Amino acid sequence: MPERFFIPVRFAVLTISDSRTLEDDVSGRTLAERILGEGHELARRAIAPDNIEHIRHTVLAWCADSDVDAVITTGGTGFTGRDMTPEALEPLFSKRMDGFSQVFHRISQDKIGTSTIQSRATAGLIGQTFVFALPGSPGACRDAWDLILKDQFDYRHRPCNFVEIMPRLGEHLRRGARA
């Protein structure tokens, strides 16, 4: 089997919070540091308020940006009245990634036990862009990156990874959606 070489991916990180700034955003910083530490690019980083329209506007703009391959949000996945990230993003998914949530919860249970049920972490595809919605805790961001996303965004990872299918993500857009 031929040797594979690393291919950097361009990520955008959006923290969903009414109270954080880029200076005190530990979860967003954790993701940015890990992304850069693996040799990927940080194309965008921002804070959005817990507001469905604002979240959608930012994520859709990034998904339409050819400089962004994947979007990771952190925050707004719980059950309080302000937690709106799944409501903002899931209707936009052309394809859901149910396996992400399942694996995230399995890993999370090992770390925080049954408290994992308080997270509505989700993922899917918007256009040709991978979108992941993580909880707002730095620990959840570390776990999601270190134990799931890091390998899936490494072209050298076998048996399969997201990078090798990225050129084919838009097939349904070119051919039209098939029922």
Q: What is the residue extent of each domain of the chain?
A: 10-174
Domain at 10-174, CATH from 3.90.1150.200, 3.40.1190.20, 3.40.980.10, 3.20.20.70: 3.40.980.10
The number of angstroms, rounded, from the C-alpha of 140 to the middle of its chain's C-alpha atoms is 12
Amino acid 2: pLDDT? 77
Per-residue b or e along 96-112, where b marks 16 or more CB atoms closer than 10 Å to that residue's CB = ebeebbebbeebbeeeb
For residue 176, is pLDDT > 90? no
Is 140 a residue whose pLDDT tops 80?
yes
Average pLDDT of the chain, as a whole number: 94
Q: What is the pTM (predicted TM-score) of this model? A: 0.94
